[in-house]
Homo-oligomer: A and B are copies of this chain.
């Protein structure tokens, strides 16, 4: 679908300059852009690319001289990356799926489908499931018994939602995402070595070989509005009550959320983050990729972690954490600096020992 520069700028709340009636039907990087594409050159370093491509119009950085760049029209926004959000939604060609309920889908008679619900080929909708108006269930998805999904959801191919999971509006799930797997919860007849290690920090006591008895997950998963779950990520059900994901929280690919976790609102959990059981996470928390969180700890509001940070104990709100084990980022940067100078430190101490020893002997 094509839009004029004027229409796009109006939709984004940005300024349209020049020949604002030029039409574009998609976006492109500056060097790749054709005459019917809007070039995205939102930083000065993209200027050169514009001269290599054939764009007539571009989205530019604040203060750019669009005419000097050889363009006929431009869109300028005070925060171009934020404008890209709206622009990308306008230009998204989507997955190309058909409307309606595909005849090959297996939909239980007791399921309730809201207006305009789409069910893709070979999907399964279980007993008593409820799908809100406009929700799209992709090909080969599974929606279990008594699951509720709100309005305007979008489940990509092969998503799996276990029994009794309850999800709000505008839910997005990427291919292969799993919500409602059973928790990983076992117990030995007598106190185990692992339980002892938690107390002693290193001594597992007398070793007994014991079998692991399974604790079944009786809770489900409760997910708020505007949540996204990434490809092949897994969210376990709770043991007694539900595992909880707050509204506005976004979860990347291959993330693991253990049983009983309670995640706040508007968090970002990046790729391969792993959270053991019963973790409590506040609101607006950002965890970079491969962050790990030990079980039963508390992570306060607005905490930010760097890549591969391993949180082993509670984190007060607002902290910026890094490393394994995690400490505050600025202190960790000091430790890393120290490690790079460690060889020199050993040398200095060896020299000092020699000097002091010589000195003592010479007296």
Contact = CB atoms under 8 A, between A and B. Distances in A.
Interface of A: 26-29, 32, 40, 79, 81-82, 84-86, 88-89, 91-97, 102, 104, 106, 120-122, 124, 126-128, 139-140, 142, 144-146, 156-158, 160, 162-164, 172, 174-176, 178, 180-182, 184, 186-190, 192-194, 197, 201-204, 207, 209-218, 226, 228, 230-234, 236, 239-241, 248, 250, 252-254, 256, 258, 266, 268, 270-272, 274, 276, 283-284, 286, 288-290, 292, 294, 301-302, 304, 306-308, 310, 312, 318, 320, 322-325, 327-330, 333-336, 338-343, 345-346, 348-349, 352-353, 355-356, 359-360
A308 B310 contact: yes
- Would you call the interface of chain A mostly helix, strand, loop, or mixed? loop
A218 to B, nearest CB: 6
- 10 closest A-B pairs by CB: A96-B145, A202-B330, A181-B231, A88-B216, A85-B213, A202-B329, A231-B234, A184-B252, A92-B216, A106-B121
Contacts of A276: 270-271, 288-289, 307
Contact of A272 (B126, B172, B256): B256
Given A184-B230, A194-B286, A106 B96 contact: no
B232 A234 contact: yes
Contacts of A329: 197, 201-202
A214 B89 contact: yes
Contact of A29 (B91, B146, B228, B241): B241
A145 B355 contact: no
Given A163-B94, A241-B28, A175 B184 contact: no
A289 B292 contact: yes
B186 A268 contact: yes
Contacts of A81: 187, 215
Contact of A284 (B209, B270, B323): B209
A214 B228 contact: yes
Contact of A266 (B145, B212, B341): B212
Contacts of A228: 214
A174 B181 contact: yes
5 contacts: A26-B218, A88-B217, A142-B175, A211-B266, A359-B359
B304 A194 contact: yes
A201 B329 CA distance: 7
A323 B330 CA distance: 19
A272 B274 contact: yes
A210 B144 contact: no
Contact of A335 (B230, B233, B266, B339): B339
B286 A308 contact: no
A122 B126 CA distance: 13
